[in-house]
Amino acid sequence: AQRVTQPEKLLSVFKGAPVELKCNYSYSGSPELFWYVQYSRQRLQLLLRHISRESIKGFTADLNKGETSFHLKKPFAQEEDSAMYYCALLSGAGSYQLTFGKGTKLSVIP
């Protein structure tokens, strides 16, 4: 069975400080991993997907198969980054089953 673990329910950082939101997964095959973000009163939005290896809003995430991790990082946090972040796993190409972690609420202190 697949599982996504986000160990921190809440993460508070000061503006300008580095941010790392942790995500570990458990899946025997080749997963597709995503980070979704939900700003207050806004829809759930795709932030990053591991296959594209891109940087969005200054965030990056690298898939580490050895450690089964997909941590989200940003070198300098901004106040507008405050939101709920969900790590999610899709069990292979064409799969429907998107498994979400419990989410980490990021609070950036001005």
Partner 1 sequence: DTEVTQTPKHLVMGMTNKKSLKCEQHMGHRAMYWYKQKAKKPPELMFVYSYEKLSINESVPSRFSPECPNSSLLNLHLHALQPEDSALYLCASSQKEGTSYEQYFGPGTRLTVT
Residues that bind partner 1 (CB under 8 A): 32, 34, 36, 42-46, 49, 51, 84, 86, 90, 93-98, 100-103, 105
3-state secondary structure of 68: coil
Nearest-approach distance from CB 42 to partner 1, in angstroms: 7
Give whichever of 14 and 96 is closer to partner 1, judged by the CB atom: 96
Q: Where are the alpha helices (DSSP H) in the chain?
A: none
First CA to last CA distance, the chain: 41
The count of C-alpha atoms lying within 13 angstroms of the C-alpha of 109, restricted to the half-sphere facing its C-beta, is 6
The count of C-alpha atoms lying within 13 angstroms of the C-alpha of 96, restricted to the half-sphere facing its C-beta, is 0
Under 8 Å between Cβ of 1 and 28: no
Nearest-approach distance from CB 16 to partner 1, in angstroms: 27
Nearest-approach distance from CB 66 to partner 1, in angstroms: 24
Give whichever of 3 and 76 is closer to partner 1, judged by the CB atom: 3
Give whichever of 35 and 81 is closer to partner 1, judged by the CB atom: 35
Nearest-approach distance from CB 78 to partner 1, in angstroms: 23
